[in-house]
Amino acid sequence: MSEPLENGSNYTANKYRTPDGAPADIVIFTITSKERNAAKKSLPQRELQVLLIQRKLWPFEGQWALPGGFCKESETMYDCAKRELAEETGVADVHMEYFNVYSEPGRDPRGWMISHTFFALVNESLLLNRRAADDAADVRLFTVEKALKMDLAFDHELVIKDALNRIQHKMLTTTIAREFLPQEFTISELYQVIQTVMPGFEERNFVRKITSTQSRKGIIEEVRDLHGDLKMSNRYSQRAAQLYRFNDYVPQLSIYS
């Protein structure tokens, strides 16, 4: 490793140019549910949304951007993102993952800023009582589609695209769908969540595969009540549907087996 400056055990101030800041930016995804007006009880319309703040100050004043903020010397990047998430939305204990670094020279007019990006998956219910933080003029949810058409601050359009790709991939290969769902959910809800994130997804025998094939039935399990009877829900349908919950088990995928 080539150090900026070395003098034996007397390491003095760095005489090289150092970054002007290490921000963390967070792509907060949520899935909103809206009732369709059908004649009977029906499945809600779901949309993948991303939370943006409107900047109050230079640079990119007035434009929409990802929430985020600068890392302090006393915290890790993850802690920083967690803190910023809490400050911007009031939510804690949600699934948040680091996914990339953005270091293109000139990406931030304020100087040499290397941005660390996270995505968070938040249940809609947790984002109800959000408010604009001090440094933001406004906070709002946008559908991902709409957000990508806006003129966002910094390189945040690219960041959102990358985050979307990442969660789309993880949606099919891990059980992150759970982050958008209540603890107990129906197969239709799960199916809808997957389709919302991954619009092309279609699996005709979905119910059967996930509940009865040898290799997958460890993913979810039926919920039973105190008497050991199967627990059902008729929230979205006349005929009550079986409730399921996720297990800890995550199947190992392989292209070679």
- Asked whether the beta carbons of 236 and 43 are under 8 A apart, the reply is yes
Residue 2: HSE in the Cβ half-sphere, 13 Å Cα cutoff: 1
CB of 44 to DNA, least distance (A): 8
Reduce the DSSP state of residue 76 to 3 states and report it: coil
- Asked whether the beta carbons of 143 and 47 are under 8 A apart, the reply is yes
Among 5, 208, 249, 251, the residue binding DNA under the rule CB under 7 A is 208
| Contacting residues for 66 by C-beta, under 8 A, at least 6 apart | 25, 26, 27, 52, 53, 117, 152, 154, 156, 159, 160
Among 188, 195, 201, 231, the residue binding DNA under the rule CB under 7 A is 188
The item of DNA, a second copy, none sharing an interface with residue 240, based on CB under 5 to 8 Å by kind, is DNA
The item of a second copy, DNA, none sharing an interface with residue 42, based on CB under 5 to 8 Å by kind, is DNA
Q: Closest by alpha carbon to 235, among 176, 184, 178?
A: 184
The item of DNA, a second copy, none sharing an interface with residue 186, based on CB under 5 to 8 Å by kind, is DNA
What element of type H or E holds 196?
helix 187-197
Could you say which residues in the range 61-80 bind a second copy, by CB under 8 A? 65-78
What element of type H or E holds 242?
strand 241-246
The item of a second copy, DNA, none sharing an interface with residue 214, based on CB under 5 to 8 Å by kind, is DNA
Q: Which stretch binds a second copy (CB under 8 A): 11-19, 29-37, 140-148, 227-235?
A: 11-19
Among 33, 98, 232, 245, the residue binding DNA under the rule CB under 7 A is 232
Q: Which amino acid is at 130?
A: R
The item of DNA, a second copy, none sharing an interface with residue 135, based on CB under 5 to 8 Å by kind, is a second copy
Contact code string over 5-44 relative to DNA, x by CB under 7 A: -------------------------------x-xxxxxx-
The item of DNA, a second copy, none sharing an interface with residue 55, based on CB under 5 to 8 Å by kind, is a second copy
The Cα 189–Cα 49 span in angstroms is 17
Could you say which residues in the range 210-239 bind a second copy, by CB under 8 A? 210, 216, 219
The Cα 145–Cα 154 span in angstroms is 18
CB of 71 to a second copy, least distance (A): 7
Residue 224 near DNA by CB under 7 A: no
The Cα 180–Cα 206 span in angstroms is 19
Give the binding site for DNA (CB under 7 A).
36, 38-43, 186-188, 204-205, 207-209, 212-215, 232, 234, 236-242, 257
